[in-house]
């Protein structure tokens, strides 16, 4: 990366012997990891949004009962309120499994590739 005077700082300079194909491959791996960082953010957003919707369902049940619609309120309460997003998993469990599995592995492999091929340097 060029600094204010146009020079590349040492942290981002291409190590000796690293060819263009390797730089391109590492760049694409970094780009893919950036996308996965965004996916993680979206999962956290989904977790929070589903939680907020679920809290709103409490009020829905209350309003339906107050309006005399017990049958509909019962369905909302028993079939939707507090329901797992995926069978057997709350949204926080999905986020945790993603963080501990795919996300952690992706980060570890990206770091491994940089260390193995470019002395650990990022954004060459």
Within a domain: 94: yes
Neighbours of 114 (CB within 10 A): 18
Within a domain: 124: no
d(CA 115, CA 48): 36
Residue 106 scores a pLDDT above 80: yes
Check residue 77 and give its pLDDT: 98
Residue 62 scores a pLDDT above 90: yes
H helices within the chain, ranges in order? Answer: 20-66, 70-75, 91-98, 104-118
Within a domain: 104: yes
Model confidence, pTM: 0.79
Within a domain: 5: no
Q: Which domain holds residue 59?
A: 25-118
């Amino acid at each position: 990366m060029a600094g204010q005077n146009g020079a590349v700082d040492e942290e981002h300079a291409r190590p000796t012997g690293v060819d263009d194909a390797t730089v391109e491959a590492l760049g694409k791996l970094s780009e893919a990891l950036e996308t996965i960082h965004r996916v993680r953010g979206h999962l956290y957003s989904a977790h929070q949004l589903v939680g907020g919707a679920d809290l709103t369902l409490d009020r829905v049940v209350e309003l339906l009962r107050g309006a005399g619609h017990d049958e509909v309120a019962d369905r909302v309460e028993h079939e939707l309120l507090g329901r797992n997003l995926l069978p057997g998993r709350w949204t926080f469990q999905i986020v945790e499994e993603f963080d501990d599995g795919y996300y952690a592995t992706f980060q570890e492999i990206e770091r491994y590739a940089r260390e193995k091929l470019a002395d650990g340097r990022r954004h060459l």
